[in-house]
Amino acid sequence: MGTIVPMLTEITIDNLGVISHATAEFSSGLSVVTGETGAGKTMVVSSLRLLCGSRADASRVRSGADRAVVEGRFSTSGLGDAARGRAEAVVEGAGGVADDNGEFIALRTVTSAGRSKAHLGGRSVPAAALKEFSEQLITVHGQNDQLRLLAADQQRAAVDAQVGDVFNRYEAAWSEYRRLAKDLQERTLKRRELAQEIDRLRFAIDEIDAVAPASGEDAELVELIRRLQDVDTVREQAVTALHAIDGADGGGFDDSSPASDLLGQAAAALAGDDPELAQLSEQLSDITSQLGDISVALGSFLSGLPSDPSELDRLLQRQGEIKSLTRKYAPDCEGVVAWRAKAAQRLEKIDVSSDALDKLEKEVQSAHKEALALAKQLSKARQGVAARLSKQVTAELAGLAMGKSRFEVAVSTVELGPHGIDEVEFRLASMPGAEARPLASSASGGELSRVMLALELFQGADTRGATLVFDEVDAGVGGVAAVEIGRRLAQLAKNNQVIVVTHLPQVAAYADMHLHVSKHVGDDTVTSGVEELSRERRIEELSRMLAGLADTETGRAHAEELLDRAQQECAEMRAG
């Protein structure tokens, strides 16, 4: 077995295709899935695609079932820090959590009506979240993926995956250049309109600054004006109450004694030896004390009342000025202040003066120079990767029964753009001396499968801990080439978890784990199940795969020899 931590640890399938129910556990190293035609072995890949967020297809739901369900368990512990952080951030963003084993459960349900639901870490998520999570852990290669390899952007991406940080630095420089260039273009083409906008903004800012409203000032004015409008009435009420308590100062009030004096006289009259009257005297003394506090408060209140007759007019004028602003810019003072701040920011950005445009043009030129310099660095790095890729993939193809073929990665120069100054194209020549032609017009399905495998071997040499799934990677291959594919998949599985659906015994013999999909044909239905094969069962399956010789001594002997030789090679690879 390999020493890496597997990303995919287990998958459970219910009612998908011909599989009614199956559970498979995966280990590190190389796992193969085999079975007779129609047994449903490709459903393993289909289920993984569903867990990776691919489009749900109602036709894949088992006949007679309401829904198909696929559940996968994934571990992120073998990922690098950056990839693990991205994967776990998707789960955390959805509110999901790991299970008791520290693994994340992904689940996809597809109904017979075509509706789909996805769950991750115990929480419902969009299918896109499954894609974002799984792309950090697992890569599925099937016939459709091989066809995508024909696209120019995919070929460029395969090269850029090897160029290092220079691509990210170029993307950032290009984005900054485009942002500045767009700003300059807008200011130049719309100079008149922007100049008019500048005038409007300056007028508005000057108008607001002339009033200089403060947040919440409008509400404070309402309260102050209300009190000023009622000030005479309020003053009269307070004075009357104060005179009733303490009496008038200098006359002008009636001749009756003030309340404080009368209460004092009553308290003095009750003071004596009688305990009941003495208690009443104390209560009257407390009331007298409270009247003193009220008297002080009334005096303070009266001294705080505005005495300037013109203050009300001044506040009403201020309120009118603020209302003129709130009618134009925002419903209240707080909004007017915020509008003014945004207007100032906008004004700063749209300066169309000659000095501002000259400064911006210099910034654009500087950003273009920086982007071009990084594009040249990126181009140099791509050419280095292209040379290595061409050489190593050609060497790999020689071992995959394509010894006369030559693989080339052509890097041609184009105008500076979002991806630099390069155009990348994969080409294949079928024989020495022949002109290499674009992959789309020169490779058969089987050749395309082997090119993809060779590319994965090139990229896998520098990776560790990835999970790679191959479906029909050995299509159109047999004989010695099949052995070489098995050997190279085993080599790839030294540092990665590799899962392969195959029909070739030469490939299956190299597996660390052999899963078999078997079907049972009943009177009305066909069902399939998945089992992990023991050594004895592997020999039987390899015998069947060799030539349908599962029940013969010759077939078993051939299968046993194939298995032992392949496993010996695997042991030597791991030890090397």
Q: What is the pLDDT of residue 168?
A: 93
> Has this prediction a pTM greater than 0.95?
no
Contact in structure between 492 and 460 (CB atoms under 8 Å): yes
Under 8 Å between Cβ of 28 and 489 = no
- Structural domain includes residue 202: no
Which of 406, 496, 418 minimizes the C-alpha distance to 170? 418
The verdict on residue 302 lying in a domain is yes
CA nearest 84: which of 94, 74, 73?
A: 74
Dmax over CA atoms of the chain, in Å, equals 138
Phi, psi of 212 (to 5 degrees): 55, 60
Tokens 């791509």 belong to: 382
b vs e for 455-474, b when ≥16 Cβ sit within 10 Å of the residue's Cβ?
Answer: bbbbbbeeeebbbbbbbbbb
259-270 vs 275-304: helix axis angle to the nearest 10?
160
Per-residue pLDDT of the chain in tens (576 residues, 90 and over written 9): 445 667 888 999 999 888 888 888 888 899 999 888 766 777 888 888 899 888 888 888 888 889 999 999 999 887 778 888 888 999 999 999 999 888 999 999 999 888 999 999 999 999 999 999 988 888 887 666 666 678 888 899 889 988 989 999 999 999 999 999 998 888 777 777 877 888 899 999 999 999 999 998 898 898 888 877 777 777 778 888 888 887 765 444 455 677 777 887 887 888 777 888 888 888 888 888 888 888 888 888 888 777 676 878 888 899 999 999 999 999 999 999 999 999 998 888 776 666 777 888 999 999 999 999 999 999 999 999 999 999 999 988 887 778 888 999 999 999 999 999 999 999 999 888 888 999 877 777 677 777 887 887 777 666 677 788 888 666 666 777 788 888 888 988 888 889 998 888 999 999 999 999 887 655 455 566 788 899 999 998 999 888 766 567 888 899 999 999 999 999 988 886
User: Which residues neighbour 394 within 8 Å (Cβ) at sequence distance 6 or greater?
Assistant: 405, 406, 407
Residue 28 amino acid letter: S
Task: Give how far Cα 562 sits from Cα of 192, 220, 517, Å.
Answer: 81, 93, 21
Give the pLDDT of residue 450.
78
555 is a domain residue: no
Beta bridge partners of 125: 118
Strands 138-141 and 104-111 turn out to be: unpaired
Residue 535 within a domain? no
The answer to whether 40 touches 60, Cβ cutoff 8 Å, is no
Angle at 146 between CA 440 and CA 544, to 5 degrees: 125
**DSSP string computed for 456-497:** HHHHHTT--S-EEEEESTTTT--HHHHHHHHHHHHHHTTTSE
Identify any residues that bridge with 307 across adjacent strands, giving them in sequence order: none
Q: Tell me which residue range forms the domain holding 316.
A: 217-331
Count of structural domains, the chain: 1
Whole-angstrom distance, CA of residue 492 vs CA of residue 460: 6
- Asked if the structure places residue 221 within a domain, the reply is yes
Picking from 51, 49, 56, 69, the residue whose alpha carbon sits closest to that of residue 113 is 56
* Structural domain contains residue 227: yes
Sort 424 into a burial class: Cβ within 10 Å, 0-12 / 13-18 / 19+: buried
**In the chain, count of helices (H) and strands (E)?**
20, 15
Query: 136-161 burial string, b = 16+ CB within 10 Å, else e?
Result: bbbbbbbeebbeebeeeeebbebbbe
Give CA–CA dist 120/53, Å, rounded: 11
Q: Where are the beta strands (DSSP E) in 66-212?
A: 67-74, 104-111, 116-120, 123-125, 138-141
Model pLDDT, residue 171: 95
Instruction: List strand residue ranges (DSSP E) for 17-103, in order.
Output: 19-25, 30-35, 67-74
Alpha-carbon distance of 558 to 149, in angstroms, equals 37
540 falls within a domain:
no
Of residues 473, 358, 519, 452, the one with CA closest to residue 19: 519
Give domain status of residue 310, yes or no.
yes
Rg (CA), the chain: 42
Q: Which residues pair with 360 in a beta bridge?
A: none
How far apart, in whole angstroms, are the C-alpha atoms of residue 535 and residue 558? 14
CA angle 494, 500, 502 (to 5 degrees): 130
Angstrom distances, CA of residue 419 to CA of 156, 373, 389, 454: 9, 13, 19, 25
> What distances in angstroms separate CA 320 from CA 216, 309, 315, 420, one per listed residue?
15, 19, 9, 60
Sheet holding 420-429, edge to edge: 406-417, 420-429, 437-438
**Spatial contact of 457 and 488, defined as CB atoms under 8 Å apart:** yes
